[in-house]
Amino acid sequence: MGRQYFGTDGIRGRVGQQPMTVDFAMRLASAAARVLAPEGGRVMIGKDTRVSGYMFESALEAGFVAAGMDVGLLGPLPTPAIAYLTRESGADLGVVISASHNPFYDNGIKFFDREGAKLSDQLELAIEACLEQPAVTRESTSLGRAKRVDTALEDYQRFCISGLPAGFSLDGMKIVIDCAHGAGYKAGPRVLAALGAEIVPIGCSPNGRNINDGCGSTRPELLQLTVPGVRADLGIALDGDADRLVMVDHQGQLIDGDLLLFILATAWRQSGTLAGPVVGTLMSNLGLELALRERGIGFERASVGDRYVLERLQQTGGILGGETSGHVICLNKTTTGDALIAALQVLAVLRASGRSLAELAAQMPRFPQVLINVPVQGRPQVATPVISAAVSRIEERLGQRGRVVLRPSGTEPVVRVMVEGENPELVRAAASELAEVVRDNGS
């Protein structure tokens, strides 16, 4: 049975429309309590900076307290901070109110288990099975309690720094950090400043409606202009909930998740700290795979979604994986994708090597890759005879050093059409051709 509400990364949608309503959030909390803590327990709730976060925080708090669970309210914090604080505090589960890189008028809800890991498909199905039941309200003697956790931000900042070598310093470095007016707007600048860097903050003035608006990891153009403009050494961009990272070198060139994986993997291999294969996804650039294998580093692909990267890392004994979009998972440091921790690990490599971000990234050749998001109505159809025939034609043209990936998004009403190969003109033409076929036949 497929999941009705949970997608690739929790539940997400337009605020005020199902499932992102107050009533649904309260029932969701009650259902999660039934499945994950039927005898009561403790839950940690965090959020990003969307104006609707206050509403959903209150609804979830009410549902959990009514179900007999104590609630720790963490306020605006990066998604990975909630994962860490859930595990560290001994809570039974963690909840994040965020729609990540989506506009402010969307929101979402995702869960972590007591180990700080995202829930399995089976647990999400079990929660969905309880959603049709009314929210439970226990007797007064069995109700939970709720309180603010005032030390959450400082605890997370200390955790981020704890993964660095003793005495590590960013003295003498000038860094622009773009927090997308999102959940990392306090933690990001404070961590870098505590390490001695000179900080130029942008995207650090949330007003509830400007999250991801022309800034952050999904819109890095402002960062690319600012870094060379202020003569910074590099730039760091987070997304709205601070689990995605992209960076910018001193020339303003974008360093995406594939390049970040390459930089970390090669450095950790040289230091003897890399374990298992590096895990990417179906969308990872072919250049990453070939460059790693040339250096004797194994590479595997998982389904798109950091949860599937994590599962594959756990299956293979790997410690490093991620997505082109910037989810970078360092399992030797934490349990989930964490933009700040990943950025600090890259900075540690730069300091140890004495080389610039541009120099390290230049060692990985990138294959031309075109990604087109094709809007669709209703449930996408990507395996029709017409679409399958078009894919076969294009794959034949690309040969052995090219790829086609066609997949419905787990977070948006689009089909992602990706074509990759050595010839950029051929790749662009093929992607446009396939996108037209999907547009005409994919709904």
Tens of pLDDT, residues 207-221? 999 999 999 999 999
**Residue 401 pLDDT:** 82
**Residue 413 pLDDT:** 83
Q: How confident is the model at residue 304 (pLDDT cuts 50, 70, 90)?
A: confident
Query: Minimum mean pLDDT among 177-181, 360-364, 435-439: which range?
Result: 435-439
Evaluate if residue 440 carries a pLDDT over 90. Answer: no
Q: What is the mean pLDDT of the chain?
A: 95
**Residue 198 pLDDT:** 98
Quick one: what percent of the chain has pLDDT higher than 90?
Answer: 88
Average pLDDT over residues 285-301: 95
**Residue 442 pLDDT:** 66
Q: How confident is the model at residue 38 (pLDDT cuts 50, 70, 90)?
A: very high
Evaluate if residue 125 carries a pLDDT over 60. Answer: yes
Tens of pLDDT, residues 80-117? 999 999 999 999 999 999 999 999 999 999 999 999 99
Average pLDDT over residues 283-306: 93
Catalytic choice (30, 52, 98, 100) = 100
Tens of pLDDT, residues 311-326? 999 999 999 999 999 9
**Residue 32 pLDDT:** 98
Annotated active-site residue 100? The verdict is yes
Tens of pLDDT, residues 172-209? 999 999 999 999 999 999 999 999 999 999 999 999 99
To the nearest 10°, the Cα dihedral for 272, 277, 280, 284? 80
**Residue 399 pLDDT:** 86
Average pLDDT over residues 47-60: 98
**Residue 69 pLDDT:** 98
Enumerate long-range contacts of 311-316, CB under 8 Å, 24 or more apart.
312/279, 313/276, 313/279, 316/276, 316/277, 316/279
Is the torsion defined by CA of 329, 332, 333, 334 positive or negative?
Answer: positive
Tens of pLDDT, residues 224-272? 999 999 999 999 999 999 999 999 999 999 999 999 999 999 999 999 9
Tens of pLDDT, residues 325-349? 999 999 999 999 999 999 999 999 9
**Residue 1 pLDDT:** 53
Q: How confident is the model at residue 443 (pLDDT cuts 50, 70, 90)?
A: low
**Residue 315 pLDDT:** 96
Tell me the domains of the chain and their CATH numbers.
11-152 (3.40.120.10), 172-254 (3.40.120.10), 256-361 (3.40.120.10), 369-441 (3.30.310.50)
Evaluate if residue 350 carries a pLDDT over 60. Answer: yes
**Residue 9 pLDDT:** 85
Q: Model pTM?
A: 0.90
